[in-house]
């Protein structure tokens, strides 16, 4: 689906926003009616205002208590409960940012209707005064792509279909794409990607996208495990249920690519997106616990758990990326359950050794409502990823600091990049919230987009 604003016109109805405890806007002329209707400005509470003829002249929506505002990212998305028609904001209460209101409204339009129902025309809002409508539309469209990809089951989005989606996007935005597939991965020295994906009926592949030919180089590496059974270390059924989202890093990278292209940022940089697209399946030729695998970098990896496959496919892709010495490389991956235990589903941890880059990313994340939290590349834990019989261990025993040790594993393959950051995202909204329905969700893309002008300056 396509996000949209209502066109500005004299026919739109006014919508007033009110914090709990504040006086109603005088121009709403709604005091007695709102009181009689029991309106108390609770978050999302809507009071429809009649005109003299019994028609609808406008509405008031509550924002809740100002002291609790930080609990909700996109309160304006609650206004999608308004009657169908075109609306405009009649006021801008203190503490609300026009750009966040615009984006929040658009994100609230999202529905995944591929298998059930159809898009329904709900209320539309004129882009709030002071907001950048084009930028909000570009960001929302990129987020919608990410959500659609994550929400699509693996039966309809295996590595081949993920490649098709990437090609369709590249065709739309004028990007170049090349793909290395199947046995060619082994022949061209991508042994880890090939090993993880070889048991699937759908061949593994490395999707390589490029756009822009001047300026600093940004490389995004997105984990594209289209379904993760756990391999021979088979996941229990309850843990396998959401594994269609294990390509959330790839989906987020493609959504960010769409945002960068639509906002014109690709004209100021050399952009590359690498997606190792595989299924971690079970078959006679599946890689095994105890196997020692070679990597493109030349480091050997002991496989102590075939369910720690994401870092393996990322390792080869990251090594390939560093051969061009990008100014900044960012990996995006639904990588560890440990990250969820530490920070929950809303706040992905990120890792970065460069303090200036980390500070810019953290600041932008909070400003645009796309939260991230910095975690350390803790050098004393390096020994945990160094087994006795190989250079690296893909799954250290003990279970502690799992997100950190995974990040340390990836950092071994980032040598050659000017700066490196890793985001351990979840890619899923477990319970519906305003602007974020239950299901696939992008994490980190908007924060990266907002921080790039400072990071790549």
Q: For 122-132, what is each residue's pLDDT tens digit?
A: 999 999 999 99
The whole-angstrom separation of Cα 331 and Cα 421 is 7
311 is catalytic: yes
Question: For position 95, what pLDDT does the model report?
Answer: 85
Q: For 223-232, what is each residue's pLDDT tens digit?
A: 999 999 999 9
Question: For position 119, what pLDDT does the model report?
Answer: 80
* Structural domain total, the chain: 2
Same domain, 70 and 170: no
State the residue range of the domain holding 32: 13-109
Q: For 38-96, what is each residue's pLDDT tens digit?
A: 999 999 999 999 999 999 999 999 999 999 999 999 999 999 999 999 999 999 998 89
User: Which entry of 42, 235, 268, 374 is annotated as an active-site residue?
Assistant: 235
CATH code, 50: 3.40.220.10
Question: For position 144, what pLDDT does the model report?
Answer: 98
Q: For 161-185, what is each residue's pLDDT tens digit?
A: 999 999 999 999 999 999 999 999 9
Question: For position 121, what pLDDT does the model report?
Answer: 86
Same domain, 264 and 318: yes
Identify the sign of the CA torsion 375, 378, 384, 390: positive
Same domain, 398 and 319: yes
Question: For position 399, what pLDDT does the model report?
Answer: 81
**Where a domain ends, among 91, 109, 127?**
109
Same domain, 298 and 372: yes
Residue 332 region, left (φ>0) first, then alpha (ψ -120 to 50), else beta?
beta
Same domain, 303 and 398: yes
Strand-pair category, 86-89 with 13-18: parallel
Taking a C-beta distance cutoff of 8 angstroms, is the pair 361, 447 a contact? yes
Same domain, 193 and 309: yes
Same domain, 392 and 293: yes
Q: Is the pLDDT of residue 338 over 90?
A: yes
Compare 457 and 247 and report the one with higher pLDDT.
247
Residue 119 lies in a domain: no
Question: For position 231, what pLDDT does the model report?
Answer: 98
Residue 268 lies in a domain: yes
Identify the sign of the CA torsion 221, 402, 72, 124: positive
Q: For 126-150, what is each residue's pLDDT tens digit?
A: 999 999 999 999 999 999 999 999 9
- In the DSSP assignment, the letter for residue 290 is T
pTM, 2 dp: 0.97
The whole-angstrom separation of Cα 425 and Cα 392 is 23
Same domain, 239 and 292: yes
CATH code, 402: 3.40.630.10
Same domain, 104 and 206: no
pLDDT interval class at 192 (50, 70, 90): very high
pLDDT interval class at 1 (50, 70, 90): confident
Q: For 343-388, what is each residue's pLDDT tens digit?
A: 999 999 999 999 999 999 999 999 999 999 999 999 999 999 999 9
Same domain, 382 and 242: yes
Give the lowest-confidence range in 115-119, 199-203, 241-245.
115-119
124 is catalytic: no
How many residues can be counted in the chain? 457
User: Which entry of 311, 411, 419, 436 is annotated as an active-site residue?
Assistant: 311
């Amino acid at each position: 689906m396509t996000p949209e604003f209502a066109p500005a016109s004299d026919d739109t109805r006014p919508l007033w926003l009110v914090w709990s405890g504040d006086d109603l806007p005088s121009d709403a002329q709604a005091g007695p009616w709102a009181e009689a209707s029991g309106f108390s400005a609770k978050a999302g509470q809507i009071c429809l205002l009649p005109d003299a003829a019994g028609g609808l002249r406008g509405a008031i929506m509550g924002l809740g208590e100002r002291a609790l505002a930080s609990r909700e990212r996109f309160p304006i998305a609650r206004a999608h409960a308004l009657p169908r028609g075109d609306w405009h904001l009649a006021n801008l209460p203190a503490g609300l940012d026009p750009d966040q209101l615009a984006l929040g409204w658009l994100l609230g339009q999202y529905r995944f209707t591929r298998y059930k129902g159809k898009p329904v025309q709900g209320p539309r809002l004129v882009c709030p005064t002071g907001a950048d409508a084009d930028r909000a539309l570009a960001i929302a469209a990129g987020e919608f792509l990410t959500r659609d990809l994550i929400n699509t089951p693996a039966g309809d989005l295996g590595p081949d279909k993920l490649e098709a989606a990437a090609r369709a996007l590249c065709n739309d935005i004028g990007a170049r794409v090349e793909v290395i597939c199947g046995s060619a991965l082994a022949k061209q020295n991508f042994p880890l990607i090939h090993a993880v994906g070889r048991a699937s009926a759908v061949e593994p592949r490395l999707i390589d996208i490029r756009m822009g030919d001047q300026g600093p180089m940004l490389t995004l590496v997105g984990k594209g495990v289209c379904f993760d059974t756990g391999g021979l270390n088979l996941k229990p059924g309850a843990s396998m249920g959401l594994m269609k989202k294990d390509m959330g890093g790839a989906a987020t990278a493609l959504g960010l690519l769409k945002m960068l292209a639509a906002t014109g940022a690709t004209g100021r940089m050399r952009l590359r997106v690498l997606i190792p697209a595989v299924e971690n399946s079970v078959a006679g030729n599946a890689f095994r616990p105890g196997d020692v695998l070679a990597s493109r970098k030349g480091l050997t990896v002991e496989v102590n758990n075939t369910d720690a496959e994401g870092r393996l496919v990322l390792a080869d892709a990251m090594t390939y990326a560093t051969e061009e010495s990008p100014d900044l490389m960012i990996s995006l991956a639904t990588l560890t359950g440990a990250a969820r235990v530490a920070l929950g589903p809303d706040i992905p941890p990120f890792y970065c050794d460069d303090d200036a880059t980390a500070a810019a990313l953290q600041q932008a994340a909070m400003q645009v409502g796309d939260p991230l939290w910095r975690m350390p590349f803790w050098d004393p834990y390096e020994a945990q990823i160094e087994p006795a019989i190989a250079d690296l261990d893909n799954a250290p025993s003990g279970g502690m600091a799992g997100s950190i040790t995974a990040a340390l594993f990836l950092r071994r393959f980032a040598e050659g990049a000017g700066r490196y950051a890793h985001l351990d995202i979840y890619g899923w909204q477990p319970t519906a919230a305003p602007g974020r329905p239950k299901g696939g969700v992008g994490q980190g893309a908007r924060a990266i987009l907002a921080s790039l002008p400072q990071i790549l300056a």
